[in-house]
Structure 1
Amino acid sequence: MKKKQIIIGLFLAGVMTSLGSCRKYLSVEHYFDDRQSEERIFNSKDYTEQWLANAYNALLNNNLEMGNTGNNITNYSDDMYFNESGGGNGDRYRRFKFGEYDHTWLQSWSQSYGGIRQASVMINRMAEGGTFTEKEVAGYKAQARFVRAYLYWLLLRKYGPVPIMPDKGVNYDDSYDNLSYPRNTYDEVAGYIADEMALAAKDLPLKRDNRNIARPTRGAALATRAKALLFAASPLANGNTEMADFTDDKGNVLISQQYQEAKWAKAAAACKDVIDLGTYKLYTAVFKTRGTTDYPATIPPPYHAGYSEKNFPDGWADIDPFESYRSLFNGELYASENPEMIFTRGDNQISSEGGVMALARLQMPKTGGGYNSHGLTLKQCDAYSMNDGRPFDRQEIRNKYGANMFVQSGEVDNFKPLQVNVWKEFANREPRFYASVAFSGALWTMSSAVNNLPTVTNQQIFYYRGEFNGYINGDTWLPTGIGIMKFVNPKDNNSGNGGKIFPKVDLAIRYADILLMYAEALNELGGSYNIPSWDGGTTHAISRNIDEMKKAIGQVRVRAGVPNHEMSVYSNKEALRTAIKRERQVELMGENQRYYDLRRWKDAPVDEAEQIYGFNTFMTKDQADLFYTPIRVPLLQTTFSRKMYFWPIEWDELKKNKRLTQAPGWPSFD
């Protein structure tokens, strides 16, 4: 194995350890009062780096893209869930699903605006001459501009239209009236993010070295720009008359009431800007004829005349689809080795209790020292297709195998990678299924324990009642009987027997997302548009181009070992829209996309209010066939109301800003 184990989030974490006694000295308010101190700060490289690190720090904690419920509740929608017996975080999760938002999560508002203020000071106070060259100043300002715009992007996703603060900051000696700012419109915020990211992109490099990998690149700025424009084009913000009552303090409507197709064209052009950089491609692992328990030999997809004899991206003959997908998330790669990564916060080591490492630990079974708390809904499990690309059909499989639904010892070779006694509904599924779903009876290798300790390594984990990782009264268990394998390295082991959880890279934005966004935006078009590129250097001819959509989606599907869609799908806008939504659900599972996708599509009232199903986890091993009966899981039921499209603003924040209005449906405390 080519194991990568370095701390690559140095910039986000390392310089913060040097603040210590400087933290008070670096207080933002202090510098508004003392212009001379600002000049001193930005004439010192060390202090400048520390100032910028404080701005970057606003991207952590409550602003992480992927993490557990303590930091990032939006990573859980109708696909993933968190359970902790006896209350605790599990109870907080259940309250959130019914619209009760914890104070800790709502701190993302003040955290983001604190970072915005920090970045604004740097943008407006730093000047060339003395310590820094003109190019260096431009580079620092571009990073600060990126952070500021990215924080607005995070605010837009949660809170919708938010106030855009003055670029030069505010005078805290001013009157209360002059320190109050209203919400800008959704389009204004999205446009501001897009414009700021285009400005930042001009002075950001195409690539970073490994030491600076967590700093933004040109591609990171342009990708965030594309995401903001895509959200502005989506149904939630584009002609949404349901939000006519979302207004500012003067009664101005904040959500566009007239649909504009041209917004989709702008979003598509922004995605094309990222593609045309030529910097990114989907990561692929090579085809393996021989393997180990940790890294098994490649299981080729069923033969397909269009793909089985061609190399990637035209086919899968030379790649291992399972390993190509799994390695993106489990710490197998340096961030600098991953051509698909566009933006990362690094390894998140300073937030290991809430970041990607925490996901792995909370997903892992108790056998390997995990918490056995994160699982998948049956809806998500069923979303993965068969290995030939056909939709999963439970009844078809049960009709096929009848009374022989468990893999027998003599059948294992015919049902790889399943082990003996595994339910055959889990057989012959697409490679992303096996990289993501910890079905009952899946093999957890957990091989970093000393000498592969047989009691905690290479274990089949079943979720039957009474099993160590199944339902046992008063202990953690998975109410759907379905776990999560994504983000877990085959060597991860937290049992205390010499094993360890390997560092994971936070993939905040990756190229597969951009490709699917590009196809989605193109699919919504009826007309043709000429859209200038981000720097005005060229013009994109944008229309519903089937060849472009096939190329974008095809790369994602072929890398996953499943055929591209038929022409009948691409020729039908509604059919392709449905297919793209399913592709995003599967490809981006657990990456903090589903929650926001359902809202921007306005699908949340249906998808997040549906009953949650799982397997019958109260069945014992002796009743194994009954375990796989789909049942409603009362513990995980949820609801959706209109107010849950946007997060509320807390009373303390409303009290500070008399012009700030509350999101529809939430108490305004008037």
Structure 2
Amino acid sequence: MKLLINKTISVFLGVLLLGLLPACEDFLDRQEDEAMTFEKIWKNRSTVREYWRNTMSFLPDDANDFNFSPWLGASDEGTVTYNRDFRWINFGSWNPTSVPYERMQHYYKGIRECNVFLANVDRTSDPLVSEEEIQEWKVQTRFARAYYYFLMMRNYGPVILVGDEELDFTATTEQLERPRNTWDECVNYVVSEMDDLAGKLPEEWQSSSDYGLATRGAALAVISRLKLYSARPLFNGNELYSGITNPDGTRLFPAFNGEKWAEAAHAAKAVIDLGTYELYRAGNGDPYEDWMGITNEHWNSEIIWSTGYKSRYIMGVHTVPTGVPGTAYGGVGPTQQQVDAYAMQNGRYPITGYQGDGTPIVDNTSGYPANEFSKEQFTNPAFDAGYNTASDDSENMWPVLFKDREPRFYMTVFWSDSYWKHGDRHTLISFAKGGNGNKSHDYPKSGYILHRFYDHSLPSHSGQWGNIVFPTFRLGEIYLNFIEAVLECKKNGIAIPTDYETEAMNIWADLRDRAGMSPITDAYAGASTEQLIDLVRRERRVELAFENHRYFDTRTWMIAEETDGGPMYGMNIDAEAESTTDTPDSFWQRNIFETRVFQPNHYLYPFSQREIDRNSELVQNYGW
């Protein structure tokens, strides 16, 4: 095996050329104690284990990447004020030569590393390495490899499957050209890998040192999410993409198949039936503490898999208002559209749509106030949960649009003229112009800031941020996957077990009970199947807010032209504050902070133009 190759060779020809080449190159670069050779790696347990860890190092860092990736700031749930390259997505200024947050090369490199490890690990000669340990490393590596494919598929659709192939690197560039596999081929590969691994991975972590490794539930959870995406309109009968074919005429995107909804339902049910996971509850009946515990209680009963136990610094420092002493770059916040998405205390969703000028269309039975900006003195219920408590006065005059909302609202949305709790201190914050939360470029453009991922019990002003286990996969998502799939089966006349619908409604009631609300069938008695499908989409938006779902949900549902394009609303951050803590009345009005562009070709990423130029077999995605 050659140990040197030009690093400038890139993804498709690049990955295929680099495919199983010296994945050890970066690994070998780190060996400072001796001139490590490829053969020597497999003779020592420590180097074999290090190589295995290297295969896993390409997994995304969801906690530290949360405002650098597009999943928050390029969806209608959030705004990120910093000049990230994904803003090209928001303004429609991206193209195959300027692809923001491009990770395809990264993941194919990870696949290459996995293939090299899998092809060579059985050569390990160190007697300290047991067969059991080798098998554990192999299944974890296969999990990572399949997951890398899944991560590319959700952005690009069908990709090129390399499999275990060891390529002939003496071949010409033309001989290494490859077409894309079809969507169904890609899905079948990832599902078959994860399904096989589910029978080999442990059911639960054996010790704290295993936290973050894949389990049976993790493999089944990946299948659940992928099957759900595969059943949705983007990848199931999408007419826009029906004409995308390989040079030999092979259609890359499938025709509609309603049975895929049944597959999605079965996949979610398989995770639920493990009986390994349960919705996190603190045990005292407090819905505020219950829901915040999802991200505050490390490795809790709801977490199926996480990309790791991370410092909360990156998430905290970008969501703590600049008015709070210490390091603070607070510029990540919810949009007004996301604020409007939360239900009222009675469980009904108040905003059903918008008029042309952005005026909300209100469900009059929800209890939402007729004049949303009239002010009343009321207590933010989060005060009782200890998240925003003012040191001297917990009641302010606030617009009534914040009154009588569900618990998840108060644990996610922080608004101006409120006290931010940081340890045992509290700071009054203003996001108006000249306010202490509106400094330089570090401010939330919507006039709201996200405070779900900040640990309010710690004094960040003293540099204490704590840690977080980001919920990459959790039971709440699997519940919602199952509910949606069951309802879509009913809508499309797809046969599923008769008890599925009853179970779907029961777990939906359990999810809402944890959030302090009555069952959806009480709040919307007599709702039709179509209405329930709309409602479970709304439930998903707030239950999984800022967990990297909304971006992919709007695209796979193919509603992003409506949701992710056009005006994005917030409060009037240009209203002049009279002091650093003043929030003037003129702040409280719906205001367009950004107008975004979403065209039909934006549903999927374009393949880089350099790959199109180098691989005549590679077909570009629709509209690019």
Residue 307 (structure 2) pairs with residue 345 (structure 1): yes
Aligned CA distance change for structure 1 residues 398 and 627 (closer, same or farther; 3 Å): farther
Task: Supply the AA of the counterpart residue of 2:239.
Answer: T
Describe the SS at the equivalent of 2:294.
coil
2:540 & 2:442 partners in 1: Cα distance? 30
Partner residue, 1:353:
none
2:150 & 2:208 partners in 1: Cα distance? 26
1:236 & 1:609 partners in 2: Cα distance? 17
Aligned residues of 1:65 and 1:508 also touching (Cα < 8 A): no
Partner residue, 1:516:
480
Offset of residue 649 of structure 1: 1.8
Describe the SS at the equivalent of 2:469.
coil
Aligned residues of 2:344 and 2:405 also touching (Cα < 8 A): yes
Partner residue, 1:135:
132
Describe the SS at the equivalent of 2:620.
coil
Offset of residue 333 of structure 1: 2.1
Q: Deviations over 1:147-181 (max 9, x none)?
A: 01000000001111100113233232333233222
Q: 2:273 pairs with 250, 263, 276, which one? A: 276
2:81 & 2:380 partners in 1: Cα distance? 35
Partner residue, 1:648:
606
Offset of residue 403 of structure 1: 9.1
Residue 345 (structure 2) pairs with residue 387 (structure 1): yes
Aligned residues of 1:75 and 1:590 also touching (Cα < 8 A): no
Partner residue, 1:95:
88
Task: Supply the AA of the counterpart residue of 1:341.
Answer: I
Aligned residues of 1:550 and 1:570 also touching (Cα < 8 A): no
Aligned CA distance change for structure 1 residues 366 and 76 (closer, same or farther; 3 Å): same
1:194 & 1:414 partners in 2: Cα distance? 43
Residue 584 (structure 2) pairs with residue 624 (structure 1): yes
Offset of residue 610 of structure 1: 3.5
Aligned residues of 2:197 and 2:219 also touching (Cα < 8 A): yes
Task: Supply the AA of the counterpart residue of 1:119.
Answer: C
Partner residue, 2:469:
505
Partner residue, 1:306:
none
1:361 & 1:124 partners in 2: Cα distance? 42
Q: Deviations over 1:232-275 (max 9, x none)?
A: 11111111112123222323221112x11111111111111111
Residue 226 (structure 2) pairs with residue 264 (structure 1): no
Task: Supply the AA of the counterpart residue of 1:658.
Answer: S
Q: 2:28 pairs with 14, 20, 23, which one? A: 23
Q: 1:165 pairs with 127, 141, 162, which one? A: 162
Residue 393 (structure 2) pairs with residue 446 (structure 1): no
Aligned residues of 2:107 and 2:148 also touching (Cα < 8 A): yes
Task: Supply the AA of the counterpart residue of 1:624.
Answer: P
Task: Supply the AA of the counterpart residue of 1:51.
Answer: Y
1:389 & 1:191 partners in 2: Cα distance? 39
Q: Deviations over 1:335-372 (max 9, x none)?
A: 2xx111111111245xxxxxx64222111101223212
How much identity, in percent, do the aligned residues show? Answer: 27
Offset of residue 462 of structure 1: 2.4
2:197 & 2:526 partners in 1: Cα distance? 36
Residue 569 (structure 2) pairs with residue 613 (structure 1): yes
Partner residue, 1:14:
none
Aligned CA distance change for structure 1 residues 217 and 142 (closer, same or farther; 3 Å): same
Aligned residues of 1:570 and 1:576 also touching (Cα < 8 A): no
Aligned CA distance change for structure 1 residues 626 and 157 (closer, same or farther; 3 Å): same
Moved more, 573-582 or 644-653: 644-653
Partner residue, 1:126:
121
Partner residue, 2:436:
468
2:602 & 2:371 partners in 1: Cα distance? 43
Residue 427 (structure 2) pairs with residue 459 (structure 1): yes
Aligned CA distance change for structure 1 residues 161 and 412 (closer, same or farther; 3 Å): closer
> What does 1:7-406 correspond to in 2, within 5 Å?
22-24=27-29, 37=38, 40-60=40-60, 64=62, 67-73=65-71, 76-84=74-82, 88-89=83-84, 92-101=85-94, 105-127=100-122, 131=127, 132-208=129-205, 209-257=207-255, 259-287=256-284, 319-329=285-295, 332-335=296-299, 338-349=300-311, 357-368=313-324, 369-392=327-350, 405-406=375-376
Aligned residues of 1:512 and 1:556 also touching (Cα < 8 A): yes
Moved more, 433-442 or 377-386: 433-442
Residue 384 (structure 2) pairs with residue 424 (structure 1): no
Describe the SS at the equivalent of 1:327.
helix
Q: Deviations over 1:76-101 (max 9, x none)?
A: 400111114xxx33xx3432212334
Offset of residue 127 of structure 1: 2.6
Aligned residues of 1:68 and 1:75 also touching (Cα < 8 A): no
Aligned residues of 1:377 and 1:482 also touching (Cα < 8 A): yes
Q: Compute the RMSD of aligned alpha carbons.
A: 3.0
1:607 & 1:245 partners in 2: Cα distance? 26
Aligned residues of 1:608 and 1:640 also touching (Cα < 8 A): yes
Partner residue, 2:549:
593
2:343 & 2:598 partners in 1: Cα distance? 27
1:240 & 1:544 partners in 2: Cα distance? 31
Q: Deviations over 1:476-522 (max 9, x none)?
A: 32222111111011134443xx2322122122111100110011111
1:475 & 1:380 partners in 2: Cα distance? 22
Aligned pairs, number: 564
2:407 & 2:380 partners in 1: Cα distance? 17
Offset of residue 608 of structure 1: 0.8
Aligned residues of 1:265 and 1:525 also touching (Cα < 8 A): yes
Describe the SS at the equivalent of 2:467.
coil
Q: Deviations over 1:525-577 (max 9, x none)?
A: 147878xxxxxxxxxx5468331211221221111111111176676221111
Task: Supply the AA of the counterpart residue of 1:491.
Answer: S
Partner residue, 2:510:
555
Aligned residues of 1:546 and 1:570 also touching (Cα < 8 A): no
Aligned residues of 1:128 and 1:134 also touching (Cα < 8 A): no
Aligned CA distance change for structure 1 residues 565 and 360 (closer, same or farther; 3 Å): same
1:125 & 1:423 partners in 2: Cα distance? 64
2:106 & 2:373 partners in 1: Cα distance? 57
1:262 & 1:140 partners in 2: Cα distance? 35
Task: Supply the AA of the counterpart residue of 2:308.
Answer: G
Q: Deviations over 1:176-205 (max 9, x none)?
A: 233222111111111111100011112111
Aligned residues of 1:142 and 1:199 also touching (Cα < 8 A): no
Offset of residue 656 of structure 1: 4.4
Q: TM-score, normalised by structure 2?
A: 0.83
2:531 & 2:317 partners in 1: Cα distance? 38
Task: Supply the AA of the counterpart residue of 2:436.
Answer: F
Aligned residues of 2:319 and 2:329 also touching (Cα < 8 A): yes
Q: Which runs of 5+ in 1 are unaligned?
A: 1-18, 288-318, 350-355, 531-540
1:522 & 1:544 partners in 2: Cα distance? 10
Describe the SS at the equivalent of 2:89.
helix
1:377 & 1:20 partners in 2: Cα distance? 44
Aligned residues of 2:564 and 2:596 also touching (Cα < 8 A): yes
1:413 & 1:160 partners in 2: Cα distance? 44
2:25 & 2:118 partners in 1: Cα distance? 24
2:191 & 2:558 partners in 1: Cα distance? 23
Task: Supply the AA of the counterpart residue of 2:182.
Answer: T
Aligned residues of 1:54 and 1:118 also touching (Cα < 8 A): yes
Describe the SS at the equivalent of 1:612.
strand
1:256 & 1:176 partners in 2: Cα distance? 30
Offset of residue 416 of structure 1: 6.1
Offset of residue 436 of structure 1: 0.5
Aligned residues of 2:89 and 2:100 also touching (Cα < 8 A): no
Task: Supply the AA of the counterpart residue of 1:172.
Answer: F
Aligned residues of 1:66 and 1:75 also touching (Cα < 8 A): no
